[in-house]
Structure 1
Amino acid sequence: MADELELLRGADPVPPDGPHFGDGPLDHHAERLLAQLLRDRPAGRHRDRLLPGPGRVRPGPGRLRLAWGLVATAVVAALTVTPMLSGPNTTPAVAAPRPLVIQTGSTPVPLDRLAERAAAAAGADGAPRLSKGTHVQSWSMGMSDDKPPITLAEERIVRWRADGSHTELVVATDPRHPGRPVLSDAGGEPHLLDDGHVLVDQTYPPSWSDAPPQSPPPHDPARLRAYLTEAQYSDTPLTTPQLLDAVAVLLDHWTLGARETAALARLLADTGGLRPAGQVTDRLGRRGQAYVSDGPGGRRMLIMDPATGAVLGLETTFTADEPEVGVKKGDVMSYSAWMR
């Protein structure tokens, strides 16, 4: 299948560094071409998303029947193919997302400047306030010794109530391919689920904790650093990769307000080890500035809103081939995209 995918990618007329989408980008000409190929698809092949959110593509009228042909097959397959694991009786797997691509010719914004913008945004009227809970889409690669790697995709919303109870809703979803099946590893074995299939829908009783990451994060950079260190159960200062991992834990528990966002941006700017890389479009269609850190555990790319300094996403990719588990350098290990 790898050879076939390479042939399909070679036939794809869309440049891999195109700016319109970060994952399988389309320029406007390619969008028009794809729109011409998708006509009168039979009813029932696609249903609405359970959780509408930014950057998602819904089916429009008139996209109902696929016009088959050589060009149609090459373009559609290159953009939406769901590869099969090798072997006649193996489980179909959702393809890992391609690494995000920095827009060619874009100007990197230093973190110091972004921290200044975040501080200015924190002082504006109506600035967002801190709230407990999260809304995140995530992709993670599952690996084992006896099976090829698979990519698990889900969306999670956690909301807390005034009495200390909270709800958690998790659905199987992949914004790259709305309506297509995705994988779950519930029960220890990967299996296909419909897009929008509810994995978890639960209400938890009241609970309180004064320990990070359950306790509210401070909006002072020095105190926030200590908070993140404690959240990682570390007795020593965090390295830059460890700090980014701690940021992901924080954002999986809290939706930061403008003051906390400013403190985090200043903390990251003062830490060092993050290289400004330029503009990128994340997997929800949002424009951001990318900052890269190489270290143990892979290359981490942090995507931040260029106006407010808010963290939009974090991507981790492999920095070396690991043939024993079937991954190559540059493969996406995990990705999270946080929303308000």
Structure 2
Amino acid sequence: MADELELLRDANPVPAESPHFGDGPLDHHAERHLNRLLHDSHPGRRRPYARLGWGLAATAVVVATALTVLLGGPGPTPAVAAPRPLVVEAGSRPVPLGQLAELAAAAASDGSPSLRKGTHVQTWAMGMSDDKPPVTLPEERVVRWRADDSHTELVVATDPLRPGRPVLSDEGDEPHLVEDGHVISRQTYPPSWSDAPPAARPPHQAARLRAYLTETARAGSLTTPELLDATAELLDHWTLGARESAALVRLLADTEDLRPAGRVTDRLGRPGQAYVYDGKGSRRMLILDPATGTVLGLEFMATAAEPEYGLKPGDVMEYSAWMR
């Protein structure tokens, strides 16, 4: 337990400033932190994977149990099946990040579109336990801020990969199948303000943005996984403008182990360029708009099996698709 507590304190998956701190289930950002904490390698020891995370979140077992009851066991489960990993188009030419940074800078010359606080994101997140098959929970989240610094958050259960078909939701005490587009939560938050990233306004200069993301990651210096995770957290708070996107691509261009892979079509049907980081037991694929450098999506995929949890190579553990 002491070792687990040390890991959690280092990763801080549920910071004190989180609006959901001490007030119910983990929010979207905390789920991402736990996913990274439990799957990525840690110098000198192997991190516990699903048992610790879902013990803390207290959801995977009941979700998987509900899947068995509702869908008849480990047979075909099209309503909650994990998306297949994105595939780079054969024969497509990889675009170096430096070249894309130049295109993004040119596209940002007039400053349009502008930065906007709030986000619109589709997510597919896998839940696991050590005795039930993994399940995937697809959701769409829209956060909009008002002039008085209050904001609204709408979360619906939906999977654009299977439009109109029921999806599994873990709302309430008993997970169950719901209609596509079912409202999971609709909340309005009172005025709030913070000068700490990622709530603070992001800069549009690459050097300053690196410092901003370093503070977001609570790291002394950014590794590539930390940079990608901090980018995802930024995009869960802000819809970047052209200048911020150009600064981000310039920053990513300085990352030596994020390799260009070629052309892909993302999960919302948008053309993109893929950039891949291969870690221990996992792969991250960042998808960028080929003309503006805007982040379209981020895929987190297992490349090593975890038989204890039913995890296979090629399983997509998490995917986010951001929209304007």
Shorter-chain TM band: 0.7 to 0.9
Amino acid aligned to 2:84: R
Inter-CA distance 104–85: structure 2 relative to 1 (3 Å threshold)? farther
CA drift at 1:306: 0.4
Alpha-carbon offset, residue 191 of structure 1: 2.0
| Structure 2 counterparts to residues 87-106 of structure 1, below 5 A | 89-90=72-73, 94-106=80-92
Paired residue total: 255
Matches within 5 A, 1:217-296: 217-234=202-219, 236-296=220-280
Question: Could you tell me which amino acid in structure 1 is paired with residue 104 of structure 2?
Answer: A
Larger radius of gyration: 1
1:308 corresponds, among 281, 292, 305, to 292
Alignment partner of 2:101: what SS? Answer: helix
Deviation at 1:330, TM superposition (A): 1.1
| Aligned positions of 1:109-128 closer than 5 A | 109-124=95-110, 127-128=112-113
Report deviation, 1:187.
Answer: 3.5
1:333 alignment counterpart? 317
Give the % identical residues: 73
Q: Find out whether 1:195 has 2:202 as its counterpart.
A: no
Alpha-carbon distance, 1:233 to partner? 1.7
Is the 8 Å Cα contact of residues 241 and 294 (structure 1) preserved in structure 2? no
> In 2, Cα distance between the equivalents of 1:175 and 1:209?
34
Q: Which runs of 5+ in 1 are unaligned?
A: 1-83
Shift of 1:89: 5.0
Q: Distance in 1 between matches of 2:72 and 2:189?
A: 40
Matches of 2:101 and 2:114, distance apart in 1: 18
Q: Cα RMSD between the aligned structures?
A: 1.8
Deviation sequence 1:208-264 (CA, Å, 0-9, x none): 000000000011111111111111222x21110111011100000000011100100
- The one-letter amino acid paired with 1:143 is M
Q: How far apart are 1:277 and its partner, in Å?
A: 0.4
Which residue of structure 2 aligns with residue 16 of structure 1? none
For 1:134-173, what aligned pairs fall within 5 Å after superposition? Answer: 134-173=119-158
CA contact (8 A) 1:140 1:333 kept: yes
Name structure 2 gaps, 5 residues minimum.
Answer: 1-66
Output the TM-score relative to the length of structure 1: 0.72
Paired with 2:68 and 2:106, the residues of 1 have a C-alpha distance of 50
Secondary structure of 2:246 counterpart: helix
Aligned mates of 2:244, 2:143 — CA distance in 1 = 19
- Secondary structure of residue in 2 paired with 1:271: coil
TM-score by length of 2: 0.76
Aligned partners of 1:88, 1:328: CA distance in 2, in Å?
21
Letter of the structure 2 residue corresponding to residue 121 of structure 1? A
In structure 2, give the amino acid aligned to 1:169: L
Q: Which structure 1 residue ranges, 4+ long, deviate > 3 Å from structure 2?
A: 84-93, 187-190
How many angstroms does 1:188 deviate by? Answer: 5.7
* Residues 301, 315 of structure 1: 8 Å contact kept: yes
Which letter maps to 1:146?
D
**Paired residue secondary structure (2:142):** strand
Structure 2 residue identity aligned to 1:115: A
Q: Does 1:131 align with 2:123?
A: no
SS at match of 2:222: coil
CA deviation map 1:23-78 (0-9, x unaligned) = xxxxxxxxxxxxxxxxxxxxxxxxxxxxxxxxxxxxxxxxxxxxxxxxxxxxxxxx
> Does 1:108 find its partner at 2:94?
yes
Secondary structure of the 1:139 match is strand
The amino acid that maps onto 1:274 is L
